[in-house]
A and B are shown apart, each in its own frame.
Chain A
Amino acid sequence: MTALSALIRRDIRIALRVGGGALIGVLFFLTVTVLMPFAVGPDLALLTRLGPAILWLGALLASLLTLDRLFMADHEDGSLDLIVMSRTPLELACAAKALAHWLAAGLPLIVATPVLGLLLNLDGTATLAVALTLLAGTPALTFTGMIGAALAVTLHRGGLLLAVLVLPLSIPVLIFGVAASQAAIMGPLSFGTPFSILCALSLVSFVVGPFAAAASLRHGLD
């Protein structure tokens, strides 16, 4: 347990320091959201309607942007080999790393959501709904994205390949995240159904993600 908490603390500390790049994601999120009105026009009613979709898409892309650093930095300085060889099960270590990554890069996105909601003319309930669905859904994005990050580090290819592999897997999260936010804002469906499916997707990704990432690290690094 101490090994895992040490790993989490180390990862968060590295991510928040100079060169860590955790807050780049928030900046990207802000930029994407600001770009949107230039594409669709400054029509506040339209932006209100598209708001949840814009915020979800921005958060999805922002979490994808920081993902390839998840294992790459550790691979470059050799600490990934130590993690693979240590007595802590690799699956747990992967889960700890993903949790740390979500705390450093995913949580700031949710904190930034209310401010961005103001820009998109979302009212209080709508902003709260989007923030809540992001809170339930972004862990799934991180944990499934981790599989892509593990593949990318074993293949020495990041960037575009990672995006191509991970984006189709994140479609269910996007569907239920946006559906739950829309349901909270204008109905007629209940907020509960898509929201519980969103939580279920996150729980499934907690199981599948670490195992798949650990398998690809174990088979891929040599």
Chain B
Amino acid sequence: MSLIDLANPTKFLALTARVLPWLAGATAILLLIGLYQSAMAPDDYQQGATVKIMFIHVPNAWLSMFVWGIMSIASLGTLVWRHPLADVAAKAAAPIGAAFTFLALVTGSLWGRPMWGTYWEWDARLTSVLILFLMYLGLIALWRAVEDPSRAARAAAVLTLVGAINIPIIKFSVDWWNTLHQPASVIRMGGPTLDNAFLIPLLVMAIAFSLLFITLHLAAMRNEILRRRVRSLQMMQANQKAA
């Protein structure tokens, strides 16, 4: 089965109906394993038990950027190949990506409270994630501002790709700005050398969260396809009544 076969929404719905329960089950099992391992992980000698926020925080932060990447590929699909499911994929991914970004921000600031003594620090990473969150919200606002889904899809695709070019530039500028203004008082994570006791639960959680994203994304795509069908049925009905 190729990507073109999936362009047929009915085939897509049938396939995802079979795949989704397995995905959801795998997500639940991996999440349980990951949470158990995270709870069993030793306390950090410097950060104590708060280091466990990392197991939730880091996967969310990874996914916040990964989802924009998925949306960029889907936007290419919309603009270049006119794949009929591409804009469904992009539209369904945006709120999930915004939710992951929001969770990354919340867990980051909860982690910052015991570590830095404040909920919000204009730290380079937190700041660029906040800007990413704003861009997600702008994209969702764009989807919601237009009634015609295909018109909104093309506009959102252009904006997503422009965002994909700009996000690294913004990240770089915020890092630069931060080194200029920020005194070097921030306690950083143990650097790139992470002990296996932390690394393994983190990787399990990352895979679990990625599976969670795929599950939620496929379910949201199904909902979006059904929503569009309901919309066109309603329009047909309204036309018949008018005629």
Contact = CB atoms under 8 A, between A and B. Distances in A.
8 smallest beta-carbon distances between A and B, as pairs: A172-B173, A219-B154, A216-B158, A175-B177, A175-B173, A164-B138, A151-B155, A165-B138
12 contacts: A155-B151, A155-B155, A157-B145, A157-B146, A164-B141, A165-B142, A165-B159, A168-B138, A172-B170, A172-B172, A172-B173, A215-B79
A169 B180 CA distance: 21
B111 to A, nearest CB: 24
Contact of B151 (A144, A168, A212, A220): A220
B134 interface: yes
A175 B159 CA distance: 22
Contacts of B180: 179, 189
B151 A169 contact: no
B176 interface: yes
A161 B152 CA distance: 13
A185 interface: no
Interface string A144-172: 10010011001101000100110011011
Interface stretch (B98-106, B160-168, B192-200, B201-209): B160-168
Contacts of B157: 219
Interface in A172-201: 172, 175-176, 179, 189, 197, 201
Interface in A196-211: 197, 201, 204, 208
Interface of A: 144, 147, 150-151, 154-155, 157, 161, 164-165, 168-169, 171-172, 175-176, 179, 189, 197, 201, 204, 208, 212, 215-216, 219-220
B174 A151 contact: no
B174 A171 contact: yes
A154 B131 contact: no
B135 interface: yes
A208 B162 contact: yes
A175 B176 CA distance: 9
Contact of B146 (A147, A155, A201, A208): A155
B169 interface: yes
Given A164-B141, A179-B177, A212-B161, 5 more contacts: A147-B159, A168-B134, A176-B176, A208-B165, A219-B79
B151 A154 contact: yes
B155 A171 contact: no
B170 A212 contact: no
A126 B144 CA distance: 44
A85 B62 CA distance: 43
Interface centre among A154, A165, A189, by most chain B C-beta atoms within 10 angstroms, is A165
B142 A151 contact: yes
Given A151-B142, A157-B146, A219-B79, A212 B134 contact: no
B197 to A, nearest CB: 38
B82 to A, nearest CB: 10
A179 B158 CA distance: 30
